[in-house]
Structure 1
C-alpha cells in the first residue's frame, strides 16, 4: 500500500469517526471548516489515484438518476402506531395496556414523534445492502442510492448479523433555512423537503438537501443483545445510528403527562418538526405477551399534539372514486400553512356531512389538522355571502359517466365493467399478496389487462393464457408463464384469503381470518346475520353491517358466482369450535423441520385452535423449532408445555 492510500484510509476513518461524534453522540470533536478540509483532501486523493474506498464519505453525494423505483419487500412488517389525542384517551390506553400485560404500574418510555418520512435500512454482514420507504408496511420503494447520501446513515456497522433498522428521514429546520437562502425555488417546509428528496429518482437531488435521520426501532435482528427499549437504543448508538436525544421514563398517567408537557413546551426550540410523542412499554418480554392487532402493536401508542385549527376558503369539491365504487367528496382549499406544512385539501365524509356542516364553494371554513396528511373541515366560518355556490350532489360518475345511486349516506358508481379506476383497483387488490397472492401481478399489469385485453372483473383473469400475457409490454415467455402458473395456483385458495380478496368494506386480513374460522364455508358466512357476526370477538356492529350489506347486493353475489364457475374453490375451514385444539391458544416459535410457520398455524386453526402471536398464562402449549427465542424462554418461565413439530402433528391427527 503506498503513502497516498494510507492517507486515504486515515482520512476515511477520521471523517467517519467525527461524523459519528456529530450525528450520534451529539458531541462534535472538530469544526465544520476542519471537516470540510479533510473531506476536500480525500476527494483530491481519490481523483489522483482513481481509488475510492468502500466506506468513503465522498460516496454520499448521489449517482446517476434512476429510471424508476423498484419494489422492496421488508423482511419484517413495519407497523403503524395507534393514536390518542387527549389525556382521557391516553388513560383508556393505559388501562387496556395494563390489562393485557396483566400488570400495574408499567415502565413506559417516551420519545419524539418525528414528522418526516419512514426509512427502513437492511444490513448484512455489517454492510448496508438496502434502504426502502415504508410503503404499505409490507412492501416499499427501494431507495438505497438516495439513503447513501445521508451522512447519519452508517454504511458499515459492527453488528454482523441480518438487521433491519427503522427510522425517520428529516430535514433539519436550520438546513432548510440555509438551503432556501440560495435556492432558485425555495422549499415550503421541512417535511415535504425530506420526503420529496428521499423519493427523488436523482440521488444528486437527495444529496443537495443534506438530509438527516433518527432511528428508533429494530425490526429484524438475529439474537438481539437487549431486552428493553433503552437497551435497544444503546445497541443502535453502539452501531453508529443517530437516535432521539430525548428519552423520557415514567410510570403512570401523571408522569406520562409531565413528559408530554415537557416535550410540547420545548417543541418550538427543536431543530426538526415533531407532531407528538411516542409512548412504548419498555420491557420486551411484556411486548411479546401483549402482541399486535391487525394494524398496530398493543404495546405502543402515539400521543398527537392538540389539533391545529384555522380559517381558509373552500374553492372546490371533487368526488374521488374508490375500488368499491364509492365516491368520497374531497375539498380543495385556498392554501394555508400549519406549522410549516401547506394544506390545500381537506376531508368531507359524504353528502350528509356536507349538509350538516352547511358549507358551500366560496365560503370560509374552519379546518382542523392533527398533523395528518389530509385535515378535516369542521364547519362554516362566518355568514353566507352572495358569491357562494352550493355543493351539488353529482348524478354521474366522474370517471365513466354512469348514473350514480345512493346507498345509505354514500354515492356509488355501479358500473363494474367499464369504470376503469375502480376496475383496475379491484383487480390489483384481488391479486394482492395477502389476498389471492398472484405473484407477478401488479396494478400496472391490471391496467394493461383492462386496456388491452378487456379484463373487467377478477373472474376474467382465469380465462387468460400465457400467450395473452405475451401481448403486454414488458412480458416475455418466462414472465408470462410464471403469471399464468400463479393464476392457476390461486384457484386453490384459503377461505380467509378469498374473503379478503373480495374487498368487503371494513374487512381486513385478520377479520377475514376470524370470519373464515367461525363459519368455515362461504355459504355459511353469506347466510349469517348481524347477531351471529357480532358474537365473534373483535367484530362490532360496523363490520357486521358491512358484511351483511355486501352479501345483500346482487352484483357482489354475481361476481362470486363467476369466480367459482371459473374454477376458484376456497378451501373449507374447520369452525373454531370444532377439532382437537378447540378453545386452545397455541404459539409457534422457531423454524420447524418440515412445516412453515404459516402451515403450522393454519393446521392449528383448522383443528379449532387459536394461533396466537405471543405467550401468556392462557397459552395451552408452545410448538418449538430450531432457533426459538424469547417465546420459548417465556413459556419455560411460566411453566407452559412445549412440544415439537412431530407431537403437534400427532395431536392434530395428521
Structure 2
C-alpha cells in the first residue's frame, strides 16, 4: 500500500515532468484538467501531512515578503563580455583570437596544438542574469550577477519560474549554471491588459520582478528563463561548448533553440545578419548576439582580461536613436579630478527606457559635435546599451540655442581648473569633496583594500566630520573620534577599525590598484607587482623601463611615473607605509624539480574530497607540473577524483598514467 509520502514523491516527479514538457519543451502531454487534478491532490496531501517536499511545485507560488537580499558569493566569477559594435569590431576580435592561438602554439611546441577556431553563436537576451546553484541535484541557491563575484540571493523569486527545474538528474556534485530571466513579450502584453499599473517594457518587468522582495509579485509576472553556461562544475567537465549545452539540455534546463555553430568567421557574419533581421519577430527582447569559441582548451589558453573572456564577444545591434530637447548641462567631478559634462534632456522613451540624462564626455566632444550653442535645441541621442545614452549632435545644424558655458573653476570647491587635452581637471586633491570621497571610496573597495562595510556614505561622513582628505587619514582614525559620529555606535566603530587594521596586510597588487593610478586597472597593477616584486622598485622605475612591460604604452608609463613623483601622492604613500601598510608582493615559490610531477603535464578531473581542484593545481604547479584542462597524447598524468567522466575514459583509451586514489595522490604530492 502506497503511503502518503510515497505518493507525494510520485506526484512531485509527475508534475515536474509535465512542467518540463510544457514550459521547457513547449510540448504539453496532459490537459489542464489532468494537471490541475494532480496538483490539487499534492496540495491536499501536503495539508494532511503538514509537510512539503523541498522540490515540491507548490513552493513555486511565492511565500512571505522578504526583509532583504542576502549577499551570495559565486563559486566561479560571472564575466562581462567585450563588445563588437559592428562587423569591423568583430573581425578585429577574431584577428586577436587567431593571433593568440598562433602565439600559444608557437610557445608550446611540445603540447598538442590548439585547433583552428570554430564558433558558437547565441542570442544575447535582454533581461536579468541568473546564477543557479545545484547541490546533489537540488536547487539550493539563486542569485543575481551583482559585481560578478558577489550577487544577491533571490532563491524564493527564482523558484516561481516554472521553466527552471527545482531538481535535476545530475547529482554527483555542486554546479552553478548561468542564464537570463526574461518576460516574454506576449506575456507582458497579456499582463498589461488587466494590470492596474501597466509595465513599460519586458526587461524592466523581469528585473523588477526578480529583485522584488515579495515573491508573489514575481510569480504573477510568469517569467521565463534561458540557460547558456555552466560556470562551476564539481564532478563534470566538457571538451566543447556543444558538450556543455547538451549537458544543460539533459538536465532539463531551457536552452534557446537559436544557438548555432560555424567553422568560419564569414559564416558567423552571415548568421549575425540573419539574427538582426529576425530580431523583431521574436517573443522576447534581445540586444545582440554572443559569439564564443567552442573548444574549451582554447578558452583556457586564451584566458581573461580584467573584465572579459578573450574567447567571447557580444555583437551589439545598431544603436537606437531618437531626438529630444537639450535642457541644461551640469559639470560633475570624478575621483581623479576630471570634470565631466552631463546633459539633462527632455525625458524621452528610447530602447525600452526613459532617458533624461546623456553623456557629453568633455569640452572637446561638445565642440566637435557643434553643440556649443545647443541649449534649448532639439538633438539626436543614441542608446547603445550604455548606462547613460550619448548625444550625437543637433537635429537641425542651423538652429542656434543658448551657449553651454564651460566652467573655469571647480563646481564643487571653486579651485581654478586646468585643461589637459580635451578634459578639464580640478587639482585640489585634498580639499575637493566629490573628488576626495570618490578616491577614498575606490581605495576601500573590494578589489582594492577591501575594507569591510565601507561605503560612499562612510567616506562622505568621514570627510565632513573627521577631516579625512586622503586614504592615509583613514589609518589615523581612532575609537574616540568615531564614537562621537552620528550612526557610529560602539560596534560599528570597532568594526571599521578592525577592518582598517586587516587591510594593512593586502597584497602589493591590491594596494597599487587602490591608489587609483590614472590609466591603470587591475591587470596593470598586478603585472607591476609581479614584475618588480616590491613597492620601492615601482616608485623608482623610469618611463623607459615601464614602457618595456607587457601592455604598457607611453601614456600608461607616464601616468605611473608621474603619480609616484607627485608630491601629494608620494606623501600619501609614505604616510600609509609609516602607519603599518605592508604592500608586500605575493612572491611565487620557485617550482621544485625533484618530484614525480616535475616537468609533467597533468590533468585534474572529477571531485577531490580532501582538497579542491584549485588547491591541487597550486600544489602541482609548485612541484613543477603544468596543468592542462584537456586530455591529449601530450598528457603525462591524469588525476581522477570521484565522478570523473569523459577525460578519465579518454586517458585510459590513450594509455595515460591515471592516479584514481586520492590518498595515493596526496602521498605523491608530499613525497
In the alignment, does 2:471 pair up with 1:458? yes
CA pair 186-321 structure 1, distance change in 2 beyond 3 A: farther
Distance 1:472 1:303, change over 3 A: same
SS at match of 1:220: strand
- Listed one character per residue, the Cα deviations across residues 471-508 of structure 1 (whole Å, up to 9, x for unaligned) are 67888877765654443343244322211111123322
Offset at residue 177 of structure 1 (A): 0.6
- Cross-structure match for 2:168: 157
1:356 pairs with 353, 365, 368, which one? 368
CA contact (8 A) 1:496 1:516 kept: yes
Q: Mapping of 1:218-257 within 5 angstroms?
A: 218-257=230-269
CA RMSD of aligned residues (A): 4.4
Which residue of 1 is the match for residue 105 of structure 2? none
- Structure 2, gaps ≥5 residues long: 103-113, 593-597, 660-664
Matches within 5 A, 1:285-296: 285-296=297-308
Residues in 2 aligned to 1:326 and 1:622: alpha-carbon distance in whole angstroms: 54
Structure 1 stretch displaced more, 416-425 or 213-222: 416-425
Q: What is the SS of the residue equivalent to 1:463?
A: coil
Measure the CA separation in 2 of the matches of 1:482 and 1:588: 44
Contact 1:588 1:611 survives alignment (8 Å): yes
Corresponding residue number in structure 2 for 1:23: 23
1:375 aligned onto 2:368: no
Partner of 1:122: 133
- Check whether the contact 2:509–2:585 (CA below 8 A) recurs between aligned residues: no
1:385: how far off?
3.7
Shift of 1:550: 3.0
1:283 paired to 2:307: no
Q: CA deviation at 1:443?
A: 4.6
TM-score (norm 2): 0.82
Aligned to 2:475, the other structure's residue is in SS state helix
Matches within 5 A, 1:558-597: 558-571=571-584
| Structure-2 separation of matches of 1:648 and 1:506 | 42
Aligned residue runs from structure 1 range 488-503, under 5 A: 488-503=501-516
Query: Does structure 1 retain, via aligned residues, the 8 Å contact 2:621–2:627?
Result: no
Q: Structure 1: which 5+ residue stretches go unaligned?
A: none
Q: Which residue does the alignment assign to 2:99?
A: 99
Q: Compute the displacement of 1:256 (Å).
A: 1.1
More moved, 42-51 vs 325-334: 42-51
* Alpha-carbon distance in structure 1 between the residues aligned to 2:246 and 2:529: 43
Provide the rounded CA distance (Å) in 2 between the counterparts of 1:229 and 1:545: 42
1:319-369 CA-partner distances (Å, limit 9, x unpaired): 333333323222233344444344333222112111111222222222233
In the alignment, the residues of structure 2 paired with residue 611 and residue 597 of structure 1 have an alpha-carbon distance, to the nearest angstrom, of 13
Q: Is the 8 A contact 1:624 1:645 kept in 2?
A: no
**Alpha-carbon distance change, 401 to 9 in structure 1, aligned in 2, over 3 angstroms:** farther
Residues 165 and 422 of structure 1, relative CA distance in 2, 3 Å threshold: farther
**Cα 1:159/1:104, change in 2 over 3 Å:** closer
Q: Are residues 405 and 99 of structure 1, via their aligned partners in 2, closer, same or farther at CA, if it must alter by over 3 Å?
A: closer
Whether 1:139 aligns to 2:153 is: no
Pairs aligned (count): 640
Aligned CA distance change for structure 1 residues 592 and 34 (closer, same or farther; 3 Å): closer
Superposed CA offset, 1:1-40 (max 9, x none) = 9877666555433322111112322323245566456545
- Pair 1:436 & 2:452 matched: no
1:105 Cα deviation (Å)? 4.2
Q: Give the alignment's TM-score, normalised by structure 1.
A: 0.84
Superposition pairs of residues 511-522 of structure 1, within 5 angstroms: 511-522=524-535
1:137 deviates by 1.0
- SS of equivalent to 2:287: strand
Query: CA distance change for structure 1 residues 333 and 595 in 2, over 3 Å: closer, same or farther?
Result: same
Give the conservation status (yes or no) of the 8 Å contact 1:310–1:368. Answer: yes
